[in-house]
Amino acid sequence: MGYEPVYDYAKDQLGVQAGFAGAELVEGNWYCPSIARGAKGRHQGPDQ
């Protein structure tokens, strides 16, 4: 029908997913290595 459903990440998919040249892919967003660890991928869901 021209669209695909979008879902939230499962609990086992949260956190760092990949890295490239020092940057980290955290929950679907790329972060610079100079950003503090606590500021990367602050997941705010109903379970927090």
Looking at residue 43, the DSSP 8-state letter turns out to be -
Kindly report the pTM of this predicted structure.
0.54
Residue 33, sorted as left (phi over 0), alpha (psi -120 to 50) or beta, turns out to be alpha
Range(s) of the domain holding residue 17: 12-39
Establish if 30 belongs to a structural domain.
Answer: yes
Establish if 1 belongs to a structural domain.
Answer: no
Count up the domains in the chain and report the number. 1
Sort strands 16-20 and 23-26 into parallel, antiparallel or unpaired: antiparallel
* Long-range CB contacts (within 8 A, 24+) of 38-41: 40/16, 41/14, 41/15, 41/16
Q: Tens digits of per-residue pLDDT, 4-46?
A: 888 877 777 777 788 889 888 887 788 888 877 667 666 554 4
